[in-house]
C-alpha cells in the first residue's frame, strides 16, 4: 500500500491551467497517481497508509526560490523555517558571483570576509570542502530543502586572478574556463556574477563571454547581477542580452528591478527590450521579489576602486583620511559605480544588521537618522560603521517603485526569487515572506496575477530554467515536492518591523514526499539534497 493520499485537494498543478479537484497519491518520494474528481465520480478512492484531508486547500508543486543566499544557512540551521515555512522546496544558491566553492585556503578566507554580511563570518561552519562537487556532497548530508548551485564568477576570478582591477592573462583565462567546466561537470546548474561587487566587476565583457561559452556547452545558464540597476540600468540589461547572445548561453536576470528615481515608471522599457530579444530567439528568464526596497551590504555601495585588492585593502583605504574623502566625493557627488551611478541618498539606506553586537544601536535606523543623533555627517557615520564592523553591516535600500514591481512580475518569463539575506537583527522581510506575499497580496488582494499564473511563475517556470525534468508540476512520476496552502488566508507574516515572523496559511510542505512542515510546524525531517545539473539531451 502507498504511503500517503492527499484527499480532495484543489490542485493548481503549476502549468497555468485551471485548478481541478483530485486525490493525489505519494509513494517513494514521487507522485504515483492523481485521481481527478474522485469523490464526485463515485469510483474507488485510492487508499494509503496515511490520509491527509485537504478540503479547502490548494495543492501545488513546491516553490523554487531562484535567488537565495542560504549557502551557509542550509548547513548552520537544520530548521531553516525561513524558507521551508514559505513552501520553498528548492533554493538556487551561489548567487551574485560570490560563494564558497571553488576555493583554496587563501580565497576561502577572503570570500568569508567579503560576504560576512550575507552569510555571517562562518566561524560555526566546518569548511571541509574546496570544490563545487565537495560542497554539493556536503549538502547531500541532509538539509531542510533542496538546493541547486551556481558557480560564482567572482570567486573563480579571485582564485585565478586575485582581487585586482586588471584583465586576466591568457593563462588565467584558461584557468577560469577550466574551473567553470569542472564546476559544471560536478553538478552546478550555471554561473552567477556580481558585476557591482569585487572582484567579479573587474571582468570585461569579453572574459564573461568566454566563460558563458563554457556554461552553454554544458546546458547551463548565466545569472548576472549586472553592472547597474540605477543610472545605466537599461544599458546594463542590454549588455547582458548581447553578451549571452554572442556566447550562445541562456540568460536569467537576477532580481530584475528598475530602481532609484531615474527609473521610476520605466519597467515597460525593460520589458520591451526583453520581448525584442525573445522574439529574436534569445533564451531569457528573470526573477524578482515582491517588495520595493533592496538589500545588500553597506560596503557594496563603495566605488569599485575603493574595494580593489580585497577586504583588507578596502579597510586600509577607509582608514586613510585623504582616501576616505575621495570615497565620500564619489559616493555623494559623482555617483559611485557601487551605488549604480546614482549619488547616494543616506536617508534611503537603513542598517539592517551588524556582526558586532556593540553596534546594535545602528540597526533599524537610516544612516541619516544615526548621523543626526550623533551630530555628525552621514559619511562619518557610514565610514565609522564600516571600519568598526569590518565591512559586515547589511542594509535595506529604499529605492524601488511599486509600478515597476507589478509590471515586471506580470511578464511571461518571470519567476520568483527572494534574494533573502538571513543575517542581521532586522533582515529584509522578503527572506521570510516572498512566496506567501505573492500569493496573499498580489494574487488574492490585488489581483495582479491569477492564482494559476502565479503558481506557474513560482514552480514550473523555474524548473524549466533549471532543466529539471521531474519537478515543478503536479504530475504522475514527478518528485513529491509539494505545498498545501489556504488561498483565503495565505499571507506573509514578516514585516519590516518584525521581519522574522513566519507566514500563515501554509499548513503542509513536503520535500521528497516527506513532511518538513506539518500542521504549520517544522518537523525534524531533513529530506533536502543537492540538485545537480541535468545533462542536455
C-alpha cell at position 98 = 560570490
CB 245 within 8 A of CB 277: yes
C-alpha cell at position 463 = 524548473
Q: Count CB neighbours of 181 within 10 A.
A: 16
pLDDT the model gives residue 425: 86
Omega of the bond leading into 102 within 30 degrees of 0 (cis): yes
Closest CA relative to residue 426, chosen from 369, 372, 358, 501 = 501
C-alpha cell at position 169 = 592573462
Closest CA relative to residue 135, chosen from 176, 103, 161 = 103
Length of the chain: 537
**What is the tens place of the pLDDT at every residue in 319-375?**
999 999 999 999 999 988 888 889 999 999 999 999 999 999 999 999 999 999 999
Q: Locate cell 522581510: which residue?
A: 429
pLDDT the model gives residue 245: 98
Q: Helix/strand/coil (H, E, C) string of 132-143?
A: HHHHHHHHCCCE
User: How confident is residue 424, by pLDDT bands cut at 50, 70 and 90?
Assistant: confident
CA angle 230, 496, 519 (to 5 degrees): 120
Q: Which residues contact 452 (CB under 8 A, 6 or more apart)?
A: 12, 16, 17, 18, 19
| Dist. CA 519–CA 322, nearest whole Å | 59
| Dist. CA 455–CA 449, nearest whole Å | 9
pLDDT the model gives residue 536: 59
C-alpha cell at position 495 = 514585516
Mean pLDDT of the chain: 96
Does the global pTM surpass 0.85? yes
User: How confident is residue 44, by pLDDT bands cut at 50, 70 and 90?
Assistant: confident
| Dist. CA 311–CA 162, nearest whole Å | 12
Residues β-bridged to residue 34: 24
Q: Locate cell 519537478: which residue?
A: 471
pLDDT the model gives residue 41: 62
Over the Cα atoms of the chain, what is R_g? 23
CB 353 within 8 A of CB 427: yes
CA 192, distance to chain mean position in Å, is 11
Helix (H) or strand (E) holding 509: strand 508-511
DSSP string, 305-358: HHHTT-HHHHHHHHHSHHHHHHHHHIIIII--GGGTTS---GGGEEEEE-SSGG
CB 385 within 8 A of CB 302: no
Is the per-residue pLDDT at 537 higher than 60?
no
Q: SS3 of 294, please?
A: strand
**What is the tens place of the pLDDT at every residue in 289-308?**
999 998 889 999 999 899 99
Is the per-residue pLDDT at 426 higher than 80?
yes
Q: Count CB neighbours of 32 within 10 A.
A: 21
User: How confident is residue 255, by pLDDT bands cut at 50, 70 and 90?
Assistant: very high
Amino acid at each position: 500500500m502507498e504511503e500517503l493520499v492527499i484527499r480532495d485537494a484543489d490542485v493548481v498543478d503549476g502549468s497555468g491551467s485551471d485548478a481541478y479537484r483530485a486525490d493525489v497519491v505519494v509513494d517513494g518520494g514521487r507522485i504515483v497517481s492523481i485521481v481527478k474528481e474522485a469523490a464526485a465520480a463515485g469510483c474507488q478512492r485510492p487508499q494509503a497508509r496515511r490520509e491527509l484531508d485537504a478540503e479547502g486547500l490548494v495543492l501545488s508543486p513546491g516553490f523554487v526560490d531562484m535567488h537565495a543566499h542560504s549557502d551557509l544557512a542550509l548547513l548552520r540551521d537544520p530548521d531553516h523555517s525561513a524558507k521551508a515555512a514559505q513552501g520553498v522546496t528548492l533554493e538556487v544558491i551561489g548567487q551574485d558571483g560570490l560563494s564558497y566553492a571553488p576555493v583554496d585556503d587563501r580565497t576561502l578566507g577572503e570570500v568569508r570576509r567579503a560576504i560576512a554580511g550575507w552569510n555571517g563570518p562562518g566561524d560555526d561552519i566546518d569548511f571541509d570542502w574546496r570544490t563545487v562537487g565537495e560542497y554539493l556532497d556536503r549538502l547531500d548530508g541532509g538539509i531542510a530543502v533542496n538546493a541547486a548551485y551556481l558557480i560564482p564568477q567572482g570567486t573563480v576570478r579571485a582564485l585565478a586572478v586575485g582581487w585586482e582591477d586588471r584583465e586576466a592573462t591568457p593563462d588565467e583565462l584558461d584557468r577560469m574556463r577550466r574551473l567553470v567546466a569542472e564546476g559544471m561537470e560536478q553538478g552546478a546548474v550555471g554561473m552567477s556574477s556580481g558585476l557591482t561587487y569585487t572582484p567579479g566587476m573587474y571582468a570585461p565583457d569579453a572574459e564573461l563571454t568566454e566563460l558563458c561559452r563554457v556554461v552553454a556547452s554544458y546546458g547551463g545558464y548565466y545569472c548576472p547581477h549586472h553592472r547597474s540597476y540605477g543610472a545605466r540600468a537599461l544599458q546594463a540589461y542590454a549588455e547582458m542580452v548581447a553578451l549571452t547572445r554572442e556566447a550562445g548561453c541562456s540568460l536569467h536576470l537576477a532580481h530584475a528591478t528598475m530602481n532609484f528615481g531615474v527609473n521610476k515608471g520605466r519597467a515597460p522599457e525593460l520589458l520591451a527590450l526583453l520581448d525584442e530579444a525573445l522574439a529574436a530567439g534569445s533564451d531569457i528568464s528573470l526573477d524578482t521579489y515582491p517588495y520595493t526596497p533592496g538589500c545588500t551590504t553597506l560596503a557594496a555601495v563603495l566605488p569599485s576602486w575603493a574595494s580593489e585588492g580585497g577586504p583588507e585593502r578596502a579597510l586600509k583605504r577607509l582608514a586613510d583620511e585623504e582616501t576616505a574623502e575621495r570615497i565620500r566625493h564619489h559616493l555623494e557627488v559623482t555617483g559611485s559605480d557601487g551605488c549604480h551611478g546614482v549619488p547616494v541618498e543616506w536617508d534611503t539606506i537603513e542598517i539592517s544588521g551588524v556582526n558586532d553586537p556593540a553596534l546594535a544601536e545602528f540597526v533599524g535606523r537610516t544612516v541619516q537618522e544615526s548621523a543626526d543623533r550623533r551630530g555628525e555627517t552621514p559619511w562619518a557615520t557610514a565610514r565609522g560603521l564600516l571600519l568598526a564592523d569590518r565591512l559586515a553591516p547589511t542594509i535595506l535600500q529604499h529605492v524601488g517603485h511599486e509600478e515597476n514591481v507589478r509590471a515586471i512580475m506580470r511578464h511571461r518569463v518571470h519567476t520568483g526569487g527572494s534574494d533573502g539575506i538571513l543575517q542581521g537583527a532586522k533582515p529584509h522581510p522578503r527572506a521570510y515572506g516572498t512566496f506567501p506575499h505573492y500569493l496573499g497580496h498580489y494574487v488574492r488582494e490585488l489581483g495582479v496575477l491569477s492564482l494559476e499564473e502565479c503558481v506557474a511563475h513560482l514552480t514550473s517556470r523555474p524548473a524549466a530554467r533549471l532543466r529539471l525534468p521531474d519537478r515543478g508540476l503536479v504530475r504522475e512520476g514527478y518528485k513529491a515536492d509539494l505545498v498545501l496552502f489556504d488561498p483565503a488566508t495565505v499571507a506573509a507574516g514578516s514585516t519590516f518591523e518584525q521581519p522574522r515572523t513566519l507566514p500563515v496559511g501554509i499548513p503542509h510542505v513536503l520535500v521528497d514526499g516527506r513532511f518538513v512542515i506539518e500542521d504549520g510546524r517544522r518537523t525534524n525531517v531533513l529530506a533536502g539534497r543537492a540538485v545537480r545539473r541535468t545533462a542536455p539531451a
